Amino acid sequence: MADIFLSYAREDKEAAQRLADALSSSGYDVWWDPDIPAGPSFTQVIEEALASAKCVVVLWSGASVRSGWVQDEAREGQERNDDAAWERRLNAEDGSRRGISHPTTIFPCVAVR
Protein backbone atom coordinates (compact mmCIF):
# COMPACT_ATOMS: atom_id res chain seq x y z
CA MET A 1 0.00 0.00 0.00
CA ALA A 2 1.45 3.34 -1.08
CA ASP A 3 1.32 6.42 1.11
CA ILE A 4 0.33 8.60 -1.84
CA PHE A 5 -1.59 8.04 -5.07
CA LEU A 6 -0.51 10.75 -7.53
CA SER A 7 -3.14 11.80 -10.07
CA TYR A 8 -2.10 13.91 -13.08
CA ALA A 9 -2.77 14.43 -16.77
CA ARG A 10 -0.42 12.69 -19.21
CA GLU A 11 0.62 16.11 -20.60
CA ASP A 12 2.03 16.94 -17.15
CA LYS A 13 4.20 13.84 -16.83
CA GLU A 14 7.43 15.81 -16.29
CA ALA A 15 5.85 17.90 -13.51
CA ALA A 16 4.37 14.72 -11.99
CA GLN A 17 7.82 13.12 -12.03
CA ARG A 18 9.28 16.13 -10.18
CA LEU A 19 6.47 16.02 -7.62
CA ALA A 20 6.80 12.24 -7.16
CA ASP A 21 10.56 12.63 -6.70
CA ALA A 22 10.10 15.44 -4.15
CA LEU A 23 7.57 13.41 -2.17
CA SER A 24 9.71 10.28 -2.36
CA SER A 25 12.78 12.15 -1.17
CA SER A 26 10.71 13.27 1.83
CA GLY A 27 10.17 9.63 2.75
CA TYR A 28 6.77 8.93 1.19
CA ASP A 29 5.97 5.87 -0.91
CA VAL A 30 4.38 7.36 -4.04
CA TRP A 31 2.31 5.42 -6.59
CA TRP A 32 1.73 6.82 -10.05
CA ASP A 33 1.02 5.13 -13.36
CA PRO A 34 4.59 4.54 -14.60
CA ASP A 35 4.54 1.89 -11.85
CA ILE A 36 1.97 -0.21 -13.75
CA PRO A 37 3.53 -3.59 -14.59
CA ALA A 38 3.20 -5.00 -18.09
CA GLY A 39 0.17 -7.18 -18.61
CA PRO A 40 -2.52 -6.29 -16.08
CA SER A 41 -5.54 -4.23 -16.98
CA PHE A 42 -4.62 -0.54 -16.74
CA THR A 43 -7.98 0.37 -15.20
CA GLN A 44 -7.88 -2.45 -12.65
CA VAL A 45 -4.36 -1.57 -11.49
CA ILE A 46 -5.26 2.12 -11.11
CA GLU A 47 -8.45 1.34 -9.19
CA GLU A 48 -6.59 -0.99 -6.81
CA ALA A 49 -3.78 1.53 -6.24
CA LEU A 50 -6.26 4.34 -5.65
CA ALA A 51 -8.31 2.25 -3.21
CA SER A 52 -5.29 1.19 -1.18
CA ALA A 53 -3.36 4.49 -1.03
CA LYS A 54 -3.36 6.38 2.24
CA CYS A 55 -3.96 9.70 0.48
CA VAL A 56 -4.58 11.16 -2.96
CA VAL A 57 -2.52 14.02 -4.40
CA VAL A 58 -3.92 15.71 -7.49
CA LEU A 59 -1.66 17.78 -9.76
CA TRP A 60 -3.93 20.41 -11.32
CA SER A 61 -3.28 22.02 -14.69
CA GLY A 62 -5.20 23.07 -17.76
CA ALA A 63 -4.89 19.52 -19.03
CA SER A 64 -5.88 17.80 -15.79
CA VAL A 65 -9.08 19.80 -15.35
CA ARG A 66 -10.17 18.43 -18.75
CA SER A 67 -9.23 14.84 -17.90
CA GLY A 68 -12.06 12.53 -16.90
CA TRP A 69 -9.52 10.22 -15.25
CA VAL A 70 -8.09 12.99 -13.06
CA GLN A 71 -11.56 14.28 -12.17
CA ASP A 72 -12.64 10.76 -11.12
CA GLU A 73 -9.49 10.22 -9.05
CA ALA A 74 -9.89 13.63 -7.37
CA ARG A 75 -13.53 12.85 -6.60
CA GLU A 76 -12.48 9.53 -5.04
CA GLY A 77 -9.95 11.33 -2.83
CA GLN A 78 -12.52 13.89 -1.81
CA GLU A 79 -15.21 11.30 -1.08
CA ARG A 80 -12.87 9.35 1.17
CA ASN A 81 -12.29 12.45 3.23
CA ASP A 82 -15.35 14.65 3.31
CA ASP A 83 -13.91 16.88 6.05
CA ALA A 84 -12.93 20.09 4.25
CA ALA A 85 -10.52 20.91 7.08
CA TRP A 86 -8.25 18.09 5.88
CA GLU A 87 -8.03 19.33 2.32
CA ARG A 88 -4.83 21.28 1.76
CA ARG A 89 -4.11 23.25 -1.35
CA LEU A 90 -0.58 24.13 -2.33
CA ASN A 91 -0.56 27.07 -4.68
CA ALA A 92 2.20 27.45 -7.23
CA GLU A 93 4.06 30.01 -5.09
CA ASP A 94 4.16 27.78 -2.01
CA GLY A 95 4.99 24.70 -4.08
CA SER A 96 7.77 26.40 -6.02
CA ARG A 97 9.93 26.30 -2.90
CA ARG A 98 9.62 22.51 -3.11
CA GLY A 99 10.16 22.27 -6.85
CA ILE A 100 6.42 22.00 -7.55
CA SER A 101 5.22 24.35 -10.26
CA HIS A 102 1.55 23.29 -10.49
CA PRO A 103 -1.26 23.84 -7.97
CA THR A 104 -1.76 20.62 -6.03
CA THR A 105 -4.60 19.26 -3.90
CA ILE A 106 -3.88 16.73 -1.18
CA PHE A 107 -6.73 14.61 0.17
CA PRO A 108 -5.41 12.76 3.26
CA CYS A 109 -7.47 9.64 3.78
CA VAL A 110 -5.70 8.26 6.82
CA ALA A 111 -2.60 9.36 8.67
CA VAL A 112 0.35 9.02 6.32
CA ARG A 113 3.03 9.13 9.00
Q: What is the pLDDT of residues 64-74, one digit of tens each?
A: 888 998 888 88
Domains contained in the chain, number: 1
Question: Is 113 among the domain residues?
Answer: no
Residue 12 in contact with residue 60, Cβ under 8 Å?
Answer: no
Which domain range does residue 69 map to? Answer: 4-108
Q: Tell me if the pTM is above 0.85.
A: no
Q: Which amino acid is at 18?
A: R
* Helical (H) or strand (E) element with 90: strand 88-90
Question: Is 64 among the domain residues?
Answer: yes
Question: Is 17 among the domain residues?
Answer: yes
Position 82 pLDDT exceeds 60: no
Q: What is the predicted pLDDT for the residue at 6?
A: 93
Report d(CA 37, CA 32) in Å as an integer: 11
Q: What is the predicted pLDDT for the residue at 81?
A: 61
pLDDT tens, residue by residue, 6-52: 999 999 999 999 989 988 998 999 999 886 766 668 888 888 998 88
